[in-house]
Amino acid sequence: MSCPEIAYPEIEFKWFERGGLQFQVQFINKEYMVQQELQQELQQELQQELQQESLYIKILRMMLGGKALSIKEISEKLGQKAISGQLNRVVRKLVYDNLLARTIAL
């Protein structure tokens, strides 16, 4: 008979005698909390990516008019009080994807 710790290192095995012929056995998943935390983290990342994607599309739609806009103007049109880090990341991605070009105001 093999030892449970060797066969299943992520499962903790406990047993208790309850008197007479009664006993209780517990199998505890040691990684349960880690799995929950990972799932929560992945969910937050996905939500952030989806928000970023919608910002990506909003900026593209703004640029369809053909008029050059500064990041500050884009930020104002989006109703932001200041230029956010997320806006900067999305603009960089649009430039990287060759959908937006940086220009210098004259």
pLDDT digits (tens, 9 = 90+) for 17-48: 887 788 888 888 777 777 778 888 888 888 88
pLDDT digits (tens, 9 = 90+) for 65-96: 778 888 999 999 888 889 988 899 989 999 99
How many Cβ atoms sit within 10 Å of the Cβ of residue 74?
20
pTM of the prediction?
A: 0.50
User: Which residue matches tokens 């208790």?
Assistant: 16
Per DSSP, the three-state class of 90 is: helix
57 token code pair: 């599309």
Question: Can you say how many angstroms the Cα of residue 90 is from the centroid of all Cα atoms in its chain?
Answer: 15
26 and 15 Cβ atoms separated by less than 8 Å: yes
